Amino acid sequence: MLTLPCPFCGQRDETEFLNTGPTKPARPSSDVTDSEWINWLTVPVNPVGYVEEKWWHVKGCGKYFTIKRHTVTHQIKMPDEDSA
Amino acid sequence: MSRFSAFSLAWNALSHHQKWTRYWQNPPLAKKYDVLIIGAGGHGLACAYYLAKNHGISSVAVLEKGWLGGGNIARNTVTIRSNYLRDESIPFFVKSVSLFEGLAKELNFNLMYSKRSMIDVIQTYPKMREIRRRMMNGYLHGSSYTPIDVGELRRRVPALTGGGPDSRLPIIGAMVHEEAAVCRHDGVAWGYARSASARGVEIHQQTEVKSLLRDKDGQIKGVETNRGTVLADKVAVVVSGHTTTITETAGLSLPVKSFNLAAFVSEPVKPLIDVIVNCPDLGVYLNQSDKGELVIGGAPDAGQSFRRDMKQSVFEDAVVTMLELFPAFRRLKLLRQWGGVLDIAHDASPIISATDISGLFVSCGWWGGFKAVPAGGYTLAHLIATGQPHQAAAPFTLDRFHHLDFIVESGTTTAR
């Protein structure tokens, strides 16, 4: 069973969490073109490799946290770790 | 291509079935084609067939990384239906269901097509409201959806003994989708491949596309494969979950995310369920194959994934919820499980579209793409040949993202 590192509760079972999707890059400033804005709004990252994503410990402490998870191996890293 | 018939069966029996011809040819890979299709799955092969048949374009090569029909065309739960929600979606899937009805005859290939209707078992009032809305929209577009009461449901599906008045989620009603059918899914790939090959289309297995190539104007000019460079002015990416992996080699990102969706089958048992049973409130659906195995599907994994396996938590959820409604299945042994990678746009509608790169086409976002194989291939072939989207697929281009004009669909597994 996959476990996730909640910063408050420690390693907990995946079924306690809700995946809230990959993290978005910073919101662009107001002087971007329409197409850049649409791109930011609609295009998520979809790597075969580490994806930085947010999880919500909805059936636990309620904390939101960010991790990097490999989309093939499910290996988990902290966001500040090297993603190589 | 020799035609299959009772006569050809008897004739080949005389030579002990040693002289049947190959389904498709294996010519050497040429340097240049008019159209390249990446991915020999249902949609790719259907597109190749309709390009040759409807548009007279036979200089087509279908490039496949693995083997023909080894991807999601062989990994789905074979359900063909059109009970969608939106005005844009229903006519498209109605077209696909009607193409499926005549497909075995058209391809001269026994697809074991079995029209057996699908029953949605409803256990909550919000779902009942949503499904009644789909019923009324279905009436407008010629897709039937008929409510039945709990007594009639239990008469039609005697194995459904759970969900009584004292259970966690008592069954409050059901909806029957008459047009729903099942058919042999790899037969669809083989049938399209055989008919496409007979019309001059080339199918190259174990030919992995490494990257897309563009000329100095940015126009697509071909692909780089493990067997060398192949040139074409038009390239279609029809690779299900790995669409972005391929398009990103040409610098194109798409509004889709890839997920893993799994299914499993039980040991074969005597005929038990003759309809497709879908339980949207629980997130589990099943039908019984001709071999007698129960084919059971559940919810997708949480989070993006390219794994093609089944997660323990997803498997447990599907089994536990299935046993709530079918307690007798407790004694069934489960034989095997598998997953497939699908990509999905966040409005859950497909994308059949030209892209910002001239000459590059994509067909992706298929969530439940098996039912859409004939219409998806038909409309993609039309788009490639004429440059204009087919009327039935016109709403499903990438333009809807540019204009934030989404087709938010609810008739799919993701919507749970």
Binning chain A into helix, strand and coil, the percentages to the nearest 5 are 15, 35, 50
| Disruptive mutation site among B239, B246, B247, B304 for chain A (greatest number of A CBs within 10 Å) | B304
Write out the E strands in B135-239.
146-148, 173-177, 181-182, 202-204, 209-214, 220-225, 228-231, 234-237
Angle at B195 between CA B194 and CA B198, to 5 degrees: 90
Residue B319 has pLDDT above 60, yes or no: yes
Rg (CA), chain B: 22
Put simply, whether A44 touches B (Cβ < 8 Å) is: yes
Residue B412 has pLDDT above 70, yes or no: no
Count of CB pairs separated by less than 8 Å, A with B: 60
Tally DSSP H helices, then E strands, for chain A.
Answer: 1, 6
Structural domain includes residue A31:
yes
Put simply, whether B307 touches A (Cβ < 8 Å) is: yes
Query: Cβ–Cβ of B401/A74 closer than 8 Å?
Result: no
Interval B337-368: pLDDT, tens? 999 999 999 889 999 999 999 999 999 999 88
Q: Which residues, 6 or more positions from B252, have their beta carbon under 8 angstroms from its beta carbon? A: B355, B356, B357, B360
* Domain B118-178+258-344 architecture: 2-Layer Sandwich (3.30)
Query: Cβ–Cβ of B313/A15 closer than 8 Å?
Result: yes
Whole-number pLDDT of residue B1: 75
Range of the domain at A23: 3-77
- Mean pLDDT within A4-19: 96
The distance of B328 to chain A (nearest Cα, Å) reads 26
- Cα–Cα distance for residue pair B354/B367, rounded to 1 Å: 19
Whole-number pLDDT of residue B2: 83
Whole-number pLDDT of residue B409: 86
Interval B391-400: pLDDT, tens? 999 999 999 9
Structural domain includes residue A82:
no
Q: What token pair was written down for B315?
A: 């498997």
Interval B244-267: pLDDT, tens? 999 999 999 999 999 999 999 999
Query: Cβ–Cβ of A41/B404 closer than 8 Å?
Result: yes
Q: H helices within B275-371, ranges in order?
A: 312-325
Q: Which residues, 6 or more positions from B225, have their beta carbon under 8 angstroms from its beta carbon? A: B63, B207, B208, B209, B210
Rg (CA), chain A: 15
Whole-number pLDDT of residue B416: 41
pLDDT > 90: percent of chain B: 94
Structural domain includes residue A83:
no
Chain B CB contacts of A35 under 8 Å are 402
Which of A13, A43, A51 has its CB closest to that of B255? A43
Structural domain includes residue A25:
yes
Whole-number pLDDT of residue A83: 54
Write out the E strands in A1-84.
3-6, 10-13, 18-22, 50-56, 64-70, 76-77
Query: Cβ–Cβ of B257/A21 closer than 8 Å?
Result: yes
Fold of the CATH domain B31-79+85-95+97-107+185-255+347-415: FAD/NAD(P)-binding domain (3.50.50)
Interval B111-123: pLDDT, tens? 999 999 999 999 9
List the CATH number of the domain containing A48. Answer: 3.30.2270.10
- The reply to whether ipTM tops 0.90 is yes
The full set of domain ranges for chain B reads 31-79+85-95+97-107+185-255+347-415, 118-178+258-344
Query: Cβ–Cβ of B313/A42 closer than 8 Å?
Result: no
Interval A42-82: pLDDT, tens? 999 999 999 999 999 999 999 999 999 999 999 999 998 87
Which of B256, B303, B311 has its CB closest to that of A69? B303
Put simply, whether A60 touches B (Cβ < 8 Å) is: no
Interval B285-318: pLDDT, tens? 999 999 999 999 988 999 999 999 999 999 999 9
- Of A22, A17, A20, nearest in space to A68 by CA: A22
Q: Please give the tally of structural domains in chain A.
A: 1
- Mean pLDDT within A5-15: 96
Residue B415 has pLDDT above 50, yes or no: no
Residue B368's alpha-carbon distances to B40, B173, B213, B347, in angstroms, are 17, 25, 30, 14
Say which DSSP state B347 is in: T
8 A C-beta contact, residue B120 and residue B280: yes
Residue A36 backbone zone (phi > 0: left; psi -120 to 50: alpha; other: beta): alpha
pLDDT > 90: percent of chain A: 89
